[in-house]
Amino acid sequence: MEGFPTGRCCWNGNSCNQMRKIALVTGGSRGIGKAIVDVLSEEFDVYYTYRSTSSEIAKFESKYIHPLKADSHDYEAIQRVVAEILQHGTISILINNAGITKDKTCRNMTKEEWDDVISINLNAAFYYTQACLRPMIDGGWGRIVNISSIIGLSGGFGQSNYAAAKAGLIGFSKSLALELATKNITVNAIAPGYIQTDMTKQIPEGIMTSLLEKIPMHRFGTVTEVASLVRYLVSKDSSYITGQVFNVSGGL
């Protein structure tokens, strides 16, 4: 890969004053993920994964932002991506954000639709986390934030696959937080509600009105509001917060 700044830390966590910590954001090419990359790049050297072949990817790149194409279905591909980044420094911050939806009622859902959503939304978080974990532990500091969903807490009609995956992320976060509590590594989850993204723009007007009536604040959230919470959770100021789930849902 090109564009790696010089003067970064080595694999075992040794550092210099000019070093920026490395952050990895999965699914960072659009929506909430893109906002997280933007915010974190103000302080960290950020790598983000994407699946799309869109030419827009090349526009979302800078001195501190590096796109990496990766298939979140593929365990071996994820190992290779992480190993390549680790050649240039410890991944101190991991944001498991990659996710898809394939909504359908349970009785009509195909095995492929179930497997795809579980694979990308849940399994990939385990794959990325495990690949980053040993060097993060050896480095003596780390922040892991898993992007869940309000649907993982409350369920959603026609979203049994998505709800199962996002609820799984919450259980994963809480268990991992216990395992890493003495390692100077925190693990938290964020459960966004309805956020203004390309996905929500596709909601029919009638359904949109109904959703807004259910939200106490009577508006959708913004990607920046989610990203700002991520920025806090990866900061030194959040060092005593772990194993928690934070709703960004306007009061839902």
Give tens-digit pLDDT for 65-77. Answer: 999 999 888 999 9
Q: Give residue 2's pLDDT band: very low, low, confident or very high (50, 70, 90).
A: very low
Domain-embedded: residue 5:
no
Which residue's structure tokens are 């526009």? Answer: 59
Residue 14 has pLDDT above 70, yes or no: no
- What tokens does 159 get? 């979203």
> Can you give the pLDDT at residue 56?
53
The number of distinct structural domains making up the chain is: 1
**According to the model, what pLDDT value does residue 57 have?**
57
**pLDDT band at residue 18 under the 50/70/90 scheme:** low
Residue 1 within a domain: no
What would the mean pLDDT of 8-17 be, rounded to a whole number?
39
Is the residue at 138 inside a domain? yes
Structural domain includes residue 195: yes
Residue 96: give the domain boundaries. 22-247
Quote the percentage of the chain above a pLDDT of 70: 89
Check if the beta carbon of residue 85 is closer than 8 Å to that of residue 4.
no
Considering the domain boundaries, does residue 99 fall inside one? yes
Taking residues 74-94, what's their average pLDDT? 94
Q: Please list, in sequence order, all residues whose beta carbon lies within 8 angstroms of the beta carbon of residue 235, skipping any fewer than 6 positions away.
A: none
Distances (CA, A) of 199 to 32, 100, 196, 204, 234: 11, 10, 8, 11, 26
Q: Which residue has the tokens 């954001």?
A: 25
The confidence score (pLDDT) of residue 204 equals 82
Distances (CA, A) of 33 to 7, 39, 181: 27, 10, 26
Q: 243 lies in a domain? A: yes
How much of the chain exceeds pLDDT 90, in percent? 77
Return all residues near 224 (Cβ < 8 A) that are at least 6 apart. Answer: 35, 39
Assess whether 50 carries a catalytic annotation.
no
Percent helix, strand and coil across the chain, each rounded to 5?
A: 45, 15, 40
Pick from 15-19, 203-207, 217-221 the range whose average pLDDT is largest: 217-221
CATH of the domain at 42: 3.40.50.720
The alpha carbons of the chain give a radius of gyration, in whole angstroms, of 18
Q: Does residue 141 register a pLDDT over 90?
A: yes
Q: Is residue 15 part of a domain?
A: no
Length of the chain: 252
- For residue 209, the Cα-to-chain-centroid distance in whole angstroms is 28
CB 103 within 8 Å of CB 109 = no
Residue 227 has pLDDT above 90, yes or no: yes
CB of 98 closer than 8 Å to CB of 27:
yes
56 or 214, which is more confident? 214
Q: What integer best gives the mean pLDDT of the chain?
A: 89
Flag whether 11 is in a domain.
Answer: no
| Options 47, 48, 128, 162, the catalytic residue | 162
Residue 11 has pLDDT above 80, yes or no: no
Cβ proximity of 13 and 139 under 8 Å: yes
d(CA 233, CA 143) in angstroms, rounded, equals 8
More confident residue, 1 or 249: 249
pTM: 0.89
| Residue written as token pair 């009785």 | 107
For residue range 175-211, list pLDDT tens digits in order: 999 999 999 999 999 999 999 987 777 778 888 888 8
